């Protein structure tokens, strides 16, 4: 791969990162025999199929693009190998060699959508930025949703809560915390949120508030129990939190738990030190 090709790929990757655009980077990491591109060749794939660079062209490259798009969809890297021997047998080439390619999905930071700019919403938005999330704050009151009140956020959306999906693109990497003012707002908001692919939708309030909201959503909007089970309400992990910052911490902890596949259980070890299989647990504990 020529130096100018490599530079173009890296420059495009940097631009994508600056714009928070997802891309997949395909790198030839191992070759044997005759192959169209050598180890180190790179190609950047955008979600719309736009390419920068090449890993060989032809049928081989078409297969790599398919894998790259699949990696962007599920967020998992891939390490496919291809034999370039016989087109009639389904091989993507006839060079005679084999090539192994590492495909890495590079996503933008996950998005935290905070609906409600009150005390808890502001504390949660700040904690979300500290946790390296892209943070969007929304409120129907402009005085609670602006850079002067809450500086440093990625976007401020002033709209009725129930209209949020008309203003914000919500996908599988958007985590939603609705820290709203009560049932009249929630019954209009929740149906709109349930129509999205958000992996986490949390709603603040007591158990009684959620019970009343759920009943209204079932009776007046026809929502089923299976749909309502997507809602984390009351929001957050049980920390006996009281202050806005403590409540924000409990919410952010639940979001991280859901994103990372955690359980929320204490990590404290109650067994005897000699009972620990050091080989089995190596790398599982938090490092300093």
Q: Give the tens place of pLDDT for each residue, 84-133.
A: 764 554 444 556 578 899 999 998 789 999 999 999 999 999 999 999 99
Q: What is the largest CA-CA distance in the chain?
A: 69
| pLDDT beyond 60 at 232 | yes
- pTM, 2 dp: 0.76
Tell me the residue range of the domain where 42 lies. Answer: 3-106
- What distance in Å separates the CA atoms of residue 34 and residue 96, rounded to the nearest whole number? 6
Same domain, 123 and 255: yes
Picking from 106, 128, 153, the residue at the C-terminal end of a domain is: 106
Q: Identify whether residues 84 and 143 lie together within a single domain.
A: no
**Domain limit, last residue, from 64, 82, 106:** 106
| Torsion, CA 267, CA 270, CA 273, CA 278, rounded to 10 | -30
pLDDT tens per residue, range 138-185: 999 999 999 999 999 999 999 999 999 999 999 888 999 999 988 889
Q: In the chain, how many domains are there?
A: 2
Assess whether 225 and 122 both reside in one domain: yes
pLDDT over threshold 90, residue 214: yes
Q: Collect contacts of 32-35 with beta carbons under 8 A, ≥24 apart.
A: 32/97, 32/98, 32/99, 33/84, 33/95, 33/96, 33/97, 33/98, 34/84, 34/95, 34/96, 34/97, 35/84, 35/95, 35/97, 35/98, 35/99
């Amino acid at each position: 791969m020529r130096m100018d090709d490599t530079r173009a790929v890296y420059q495009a990757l940097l631009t994508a990162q600056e714009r928070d655009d997802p891309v997949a980077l395909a790198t030839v990491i191992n070759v044997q025999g005759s192959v169209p591109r050598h180890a180190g060749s790179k190609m950047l794939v955008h979600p719309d199929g736009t390419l920068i660079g090449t890993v060989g062209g032809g049928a081989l490259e078409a297969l790599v693009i398919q894998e790259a798009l699949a990696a962007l969809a599920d967020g998992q890297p891939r390490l496919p190998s291809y034999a370039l021997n016989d087109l009639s047998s389904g091989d993507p080439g006839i060079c005679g060699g084999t090539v192994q390619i590492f495909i890495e999905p590079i996503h933008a930071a996950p998005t935290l959508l905070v609906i409600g700019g009150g005390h808890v919403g502001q504390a949660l938005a700040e904690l979300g930025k500290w946790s390296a999330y892209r943070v969007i704050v929304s409120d129907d009151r402009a005085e609670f949703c602006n850079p002067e009140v809450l500086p440093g956020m990625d976007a401020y959306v002033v709209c009725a809560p129930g209209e949020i999906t008309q203003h914000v693109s919500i996908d599988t990497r958007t985590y939603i915390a609705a820290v709203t003012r009560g049932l009249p707002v929630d019954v209009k908001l929740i149906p709109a949120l349930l129509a999205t692919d958000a992996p986490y939708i949390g709603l603040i309030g007591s158990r009684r508030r959620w019970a009343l909201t759920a009943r209204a959503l079932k009776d007046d909007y026809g929502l089923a129990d299976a749909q309502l089970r997507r809602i984390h309400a009351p929001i957050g992990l049980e920390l006996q939190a009281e202050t806005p910052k403590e409540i924000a911490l409990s919410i952010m902890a639940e979001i991280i738990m859901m994103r990372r596949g955690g359980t929320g259980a204490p990590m404290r070890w109650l067994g005897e030190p000699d009972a620990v299989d050091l080989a089995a647990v190596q790398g599982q504990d938090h490092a300093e």
